[in-house]
Amino acid sequence: MKNTLLSFMLIISLGAGLFAADLSKEMLKQNKQVIKAAVAAISKKLPQKVDKYTQFTAISSKGLTLFYTFEINTGAKSDEAVKSEDRRRMSKYVTQGICQSSKYFLDSNINISYIYISAKTKAKLFQFNVTKSDCKK
């Protein structure tokens, strides 16, 4: 009787593990579909002015990450000056903004990456990668 009960519990545990694995695969598939739909919908509305210095120019994805690309009009500032003077200040605000505006994606384990490039030189200035765990800090 004891062996039968242990065997039964083992079968249930294995079945639950397989069910969880199937569920995880289904969620991954669903998240990829959500990402694909988001990229298609948002792309139709680009480019989009964010503020007097920033324009949202592109969105793409890779795996479970959405990549938003912004161009910054740096005015007379050089790319190096923007990188050294503005990165730290922007990091905090960009992360807070992503945590609020992209909560649905982050809660679904879809990561967000904001890429900023110079409107003048098209050089990459900085990139901020945000995951769900970054919003708990």
Domain ranges for the chain:
2-136
Q: Is the confidence at residue 55, as pLDDT, over 50?
A: yes
CB count in 10 Å sphere of residue 94: 19
Question: Percent of the chain, pLDDT > 90?
Answer: 64
- Both tokens assigned to 69: 């690309």
Q: Which residues fall within 8 angstroms of residue 114, CB to CB, at 6 or more apart? A: 68, 70, 94, 98, 127, 128, 130
Residue with tokens 């098209």: 122
Q: Is the confidence at residue 17, as pLDDT, over 70?
A: no
pLDDT of res. 43: 95
Cα dihedral 32, 36, 41, 44 sign:
positive
Q: Which residues fall within 8 angstroms of residue 125, CB to CB, at 6 or more apart? A: 72, 74, 79, 82, 83, 86, 87, 116, 117, 118
Question: Percent of the chain, pLDDT > 70?
Answer: 82
The alpha helices in the chain, defined as continuous H runs, are 2-43, 79-101, 103-107
**Does domain 2-136 fall into CATH 3.30.300.250?**
yes
Rounded to an integer, the average pLDDT of 65-80 is 93
pLDDT of res. 4: 53
The pTM score is: 0.80
